[in-house]
Amino acid sequence: DAGVTQSPTHLIKTRGQHVTLRCSPISGHKSVSWYQQVLGQGPQFIFQYYEKEERGRGNFPDRFSARQFPNYSSELNVNALLLGDSALYLCASSGHGQMNTEAFFGQGTRLTVV
């Protein structure tokens, strides 16, 4: 079975640009969460989606947005990129109900803002 897949794996953007990151969850998983991991730190929660609805939002500015599609894949969008947005962006999928707690992470998208 395929795990969580994220694309692209690496990305370089210029300040002020917009970026879209994509995630495909494990087959059958309905919950997708996004995390930002700055070098040397633990992942920080950005969003959780379950059954295409936003179920949680972390302490991130409105420049960050996300959505989940009918096939449960998800996109994370970041507008007006800042140098501080440079990080590893992780997608995690969870099992067959919102209360299923095991979360499996993808390999991440390394975003560099220059």
Partner 1 sequence: QQQVKQSPQSLIVQKGGISIINCAYENTAFDYFPWYQQFPGKGPALLIAIRPDVSEKKEGRFTISFNKSAKQFSLHIMDSQPGDSATYFCAASHTGNQFYFGTGTSLTVIP
- Interface with partner 1 (CB under 8 A): 4, 6, 31, 33, 35, 40-45, 48, 55-56, 58, 88, 90, 92, 94, 98-108, 110
Q: How far is the CB of 92 from partner 1 (least distance, A)?
A: 8
Of how many residues is the chain composed?
114
Residue with Cβ nearer partner 1 (48 or 85): 48
Considering the complex, state which of residue 9 and residue 77 has its C-beta at the smaller distance from partner 1.
9
CB of 89 to partner 1, least distance (A): 10
Q: Can you say whether residue 64 is alpha, beta or left, with left for phi > 0 and alpha for psi between -120 and 50 degrees?
A: beta
To 5 degrees, how large is the angle CA 36–CA 20–CA 84? 40
Burial label, 111 (beta-carbon count in 10 A; 0-12, 13-18, 19+): buried
Looking at the Cβ atoms of 79 and 100, the one nearer to partner 1 is: 100
> Shortest approach of partner 1 to residue 9 CB, angstroms?
9
Q: Closer CB to partner 1, residue 10 or residue 84?
A: 10
DSSP for 3-15 reads --EEE-SEEEE-T
